[in-house]
Amino acid sequence: MFDRFDEAPISKLIGFNVLPATDEDKELGKAIVELEIDARLNNPMGRVHGGVLAALSDAAMGIAFGRTLDPGQDFSTIDLHIHFMRPVRGKKLIALGEMIQRGLRIGYVRCVVTDDRGKEVASSSCSCTVLDKM
């Protein structure tokens, strides 16, 4: 079944690769989003821009939360917090978004971003609110 959160326009623009969801991913609210690194994503110091890490984290958490919604629901992010652990080294980033708590209207989601060596480069969290589709 098509997952409407897998192919957002921003994902195509930046180059995110959303891994297919298992039934467990949809039930528990999990998502893995990968990003191949190249120089176009760098800041002036030659390292991956923090905004790219924030966008990657936001995508993974949003997809994770979105997978738990009913067909008549949408959502919006309320807040997003990110902590940068180390400069990005390597050629790929992997973001794992996981829903931690979900109520009727509000959910709390976390994300860990690692490089292709398994080193944690960022940690983030967000709150999301469920909206009825217009």
Q: What is the CATH number of the domain that holds 63?
A: 3.10.129.10
**Number of domains forming the structure of the chain:** 1
> Does 60 map to a domain?
yes
Report pLDDT for 1: 42
User: Which three-class secondary structure state does DSSP give residue 134?
Assistant: coil
pTM, full prediction: 0.93
> Does 2 map to a domain?
no
The mean pLDDT values, 10 residues at a time, for the chain of 134 residues are: 70 91 91 95 93 97 93 94 93 97 96 96 98 83
Helix, strand, coil share of the chain (percent; to 5)? 25, 45, 35
Q: 12 forms bridges with which residues in the sheet? A: none
> Does 120 map to a domain?
yes
CA 26 to chain CA centroid, nearest Å: 14
Q: Which domain holds residue 105?
A: 9-132
> Does 109 map to a domain?
yes
Q: What gap in Å lies between CA 125 and CA 99, rounded to an integer?
A: 10
> Does 106 map to a domain?
yes
Report pLDDT for 41: 94
- Distances 73 to 7, 23, 93, 129 between C-alpha atoms, Å: 17, 19, 30, 10
Q: Tell me: the pLDDT tens digits for 2-13?
A: 467 677 888 888
